[in-house]
Amino acid sequence: MVCRLSHHSRATLTDVLDPYLDVPEAATYELSSCYNVSIECRSGEMITKIRTSKLFDGKVYAKGSPKSCSVNVNNSLEFDFRMGYNDLECNVRQSAYGRYMNDIVIQHHDMIVTSSDLG
């Protein structure tokens, strides 16, 4: 059994009809994106810091507020998303004294929601 990894994907090889050679003894896997999401809590806001292994082009938004609490990202590996604790549009909730929480969505296309979006 042979395992092949490629830095290319069907998305980067759109001009090629069949981008992978068929090798009966081999399994080919596309490398998918990895996301490292961290939160920095400040006195008046939380900052979501997102690092990815592939260039990201899309948007990040507070769940339920895709237009009013969002940031557009253009071809970046690192990006931040700020949500004020008292910003009603961002729906940040206080779970206990000094503890806040929210849900975000990482959307891969600015206008279209797909099954590969993370929330």
Per-residue confidence (pLDDT) for residue 65, from 0 to 100? 93
How, if at all, do strands 2-6 and 26-30 pair?
parallel
Highest mean predicted confidence (pLDDT) among 13-17, 78-82, 98-102: 78-82
Nearest to 46 by CA among 5, 89, 102: 102
Please count the other Cβ atoms lying within 10 Å of the Cβ belonging to residue 118.
Answer: 13
Per-residue confidence (pLDDT) for residue 98, from 0 to 100? 87
Instruction: Determine the Cα angle at 65 with ends 62 and 70, to 5°.
Output: 60
φ/ψ of residue 115, rounded to 5: -70, -15
Per-residue confidence (pLDDT) for residue 14, from 0 to 100? 72
CA distance 48 to 42: 11
Q: For the chain, which residues make up each domain, given as ranges?
A: 1-31, 34-119
Question: For all residues of the chain together, what is the average pLDDT?
Answer: 83
The pTM of the whole model exceeds 0.85: no
Per-residue confidence (pLDDT) for residue 24, from 0 to 100? 76
Per-residue confidence (pLDDT) for residue 71, from 0 to 100? 97
